[in-house]
């Protein structure tokens, strides 16, 4: 089948500019699509990072019984378990909504997923125990997982060929802004916590307010409904499918053809390395720094709400440092992908992610280390995800693009859901005799990045090629 031309919202074909900056061939509607998709993913990541900042304080509240504080071992275990549940919901939602995105359209599906993750994030603030908290996080995960694939499929199909990888890299880079905003929210709530005698703000713990704020992106769904159209490429494919009886989306169709089956398996294994590396190891650097700073602040005489407030503030600072590095890492990733190719980029990214993460878990031991170690780790780890946003839509045809991208990005999350659990088990079991058991546990788990390197020889190179029709 011949490659379909690019269209503006009016339906007229566009042409790629062969000279000038990458965005020179983009119209106002191209920018609108990129803005809406980027905001959807930005708020998606805001939710994710608010959860990372809130999970440990939430467990301290929800596991406390009869006025007695929960043990640190229980807090660590259930914080990891809640992360597993969230990732399982993320993976499930990605697989379900990936198919829906191919069948009913990218824009409609994006609106549905944003409403789900926003509203259920707000419900998390009302949790009374671990299990209702876990239920809300699972449903939130359904929406979070579904949004990414339809967003990148939408941008990939609307953008001119020359602009596509840079636009997708920018979309992913702006996710760091969502993470950064979550960190600022955490710092602000921590400052407010220090000003109260009870450690609560208007009667609620700060972690509950984080989830209330995370519900606000629901208003973005209104903008999507008002102005976003389905890509002309998808509409043309839908019309042809209706005429010929071709199946849009679905995993049986994805695995029926050897080319798409191979690409799906390769992409899924590539995603496993990065997703486990980030959610099973990297984001637990925030918990590592809490243990480092707890010793420091306790030695300085901080206790009770003052200690809790300081730790909340510095958790936000740690997240900010990671995401400052992440923003620049993802911008650089788009250029490296275009300059060297997709496979060389992933080889560099997986290696640097493994080494930088190992550095943090082995050597981070002082506040001064935050300012350089965490940005380096964020730069290396999150750059991998810009590569996913660029590469996965290039592996599949229009009728399977959302399905295939979701399969790659989300099946790995079922495996990754065991990452936090394994890290917790290594910390509480194998390395429990160590002064800080999370350090050796994290170092062992850094080996997961080798999976990505092992898969690369089997991955197709898509640099300079048009999207499969």
275 CB-near residues (< 8 Å, 6+ apart): 409, 412, 413, 415, 416
User: pLDDT tens, position by position, for the chain (469 residues)?
Assistant: 444 444 444 444 444 445 678 888 899 999 999 988 888 888 888 888 888 888 888 998 898 876 677 777 788 788 888 988 888 898 899 899 999 999 999 888 988 988 888 888 889 999 999 999 999 999 998 988 888 888 888 999 999 988 999 999 999 888 888 888 888 888 888 888 777 877 788 888 888 999 998 888 777 766 676 778 888 888 888 898 888 888 788 899 999 999 999 999 999 999 989 988 887 777 667 677 777 778 788 888 888 778 877 887 887 788 888 889 999 999 999 999 999 999 999 999 999 999 999 998 888 888 888 899 999 999 999 999 999 999 999 999 999 999 999 999 888 777 766 766 677 667 666 677 677 777 887 788 888 899 999 999 999 999 988 888 7
* DSSP-H helix ranges across 159-303: 164-173, 175-194, 206-213, 220-227, 232-244, 251-256, 258-275, 285-299
| Short-list 179, 187, 108, 188, CA closest to 150 | 108
Q: SS3 of 27, please?
A: coil
Nearest to 334 by CA among 179, 174, 466: 174
Q: Domain-by-domain residue ranges, the chain?
A: 28-458
Residues 6+ apart with CB under 8 A from 124: 51, 133, 136, 137, 140, 211, 214
Q: Looking at residue 69, what DSSP letter applies?
A: P
Structure tokens given for 323 = 């995401």
CATH superfamily, with its number, for domain 28-458: MFS general substrate transporter like domains (1.20.1250.20)
Give counts: helices (H), strands (E), the chain. Answer: 19, 0
Query: Which pTM does this prediction carry?
Result: 0.80
469 within 8 A of 1, measured Cβ to Cβ: yes
């Amino acid at each position: 089948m011949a490659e379909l031309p690019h269209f503006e919202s009016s339906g007229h074909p566009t042409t790629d500019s062969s000279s000038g900056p990458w965005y020179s061939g983009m119209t106002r509607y191209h920018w609108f699509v990129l803005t809406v998709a980027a905001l959807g993913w930005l708020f998606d990541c805001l939710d994710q990072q608010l959860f990372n900042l809130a999970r440990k304080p939430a467990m301290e509240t929800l596991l406390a019984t009869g006025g007695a504080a929960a043990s640190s071992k229980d807090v660590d275990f259930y914080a990891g378990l809640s992360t597993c549940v969230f990732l399982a919901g993320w993976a499930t939602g990605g697989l379900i909504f990936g198919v829906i995105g191919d069948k009913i359209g990218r824009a409609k599906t994006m609106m549905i997923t944003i409403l789900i993750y926003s509203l259920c994030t707000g419900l998390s603030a009302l949790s009374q125990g671990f299990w209702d908290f876990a239920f809300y996080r699972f449903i939130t995960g359904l929406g979070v997982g579904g949004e990414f694939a339809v967003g990148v499929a939408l941008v990939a199909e609307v953008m001119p060929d020359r602009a596509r990888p840079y636009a997708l890299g920018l979309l992913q880079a702006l996710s760091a802004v969502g993470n950064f905003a979550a960190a600022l929210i955490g710092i602000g709530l921590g400052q407010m916590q220090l000003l109260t005698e009870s450690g609560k703000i208007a009667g609620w713990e700060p972690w509950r307010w984080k989830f209330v704020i995370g519900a606000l992106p629901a208003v973005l769904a209104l903008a999507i409904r008002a102005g976003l159209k389905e890509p002309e490429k998808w509409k043309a494919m839908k019309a042809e499918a209706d005429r010929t009886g071709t199946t849009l989306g679905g995993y049986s169709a994805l695995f029926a053809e050897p080319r798409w089956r191979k690409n799906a398996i390769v992409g899924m294994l590539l995603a496993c390395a990065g997703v486990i590396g980030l959610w099973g190891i990297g984001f637990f650097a925030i918990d590592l720094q809490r243990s480092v700073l707890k010793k420091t602040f306790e030695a300085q005489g901080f206790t009770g709400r003052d200690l809790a407030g300081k730790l909340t503030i510095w958790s936000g600072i740690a997240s900010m440092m990671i995401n400052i590095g992440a923003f620049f890492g993802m911008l650089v990733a788009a250029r490296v992908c275009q300059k060297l190719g997709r496979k060389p980029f992933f080889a560099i990214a997986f290696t640097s992610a493994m080494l930088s993460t190992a550095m943090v878990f082995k050597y981070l031991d002082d506040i001064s280390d935050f300012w350089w170690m965490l940005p380096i780790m964020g730069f290396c780890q999150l750059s991998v995800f810009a590569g996913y946003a660029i590469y996965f839509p290039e592996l599949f045809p229009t009728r399977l693009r959302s399905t295939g991208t979701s399969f790659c990005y989300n099946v790995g999350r079922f495996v990754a859901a065991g990452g936090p659990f394994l890290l917790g088990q290594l910390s509480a079991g194998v390395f429990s005799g160590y002064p800080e058991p999370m350090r050796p546990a994290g170092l062992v788990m850094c080996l997961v990045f080798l999976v990505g390197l092992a898969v690369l020889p089997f991955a197709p190179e898509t640099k300079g090629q048009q999207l499969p029709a």
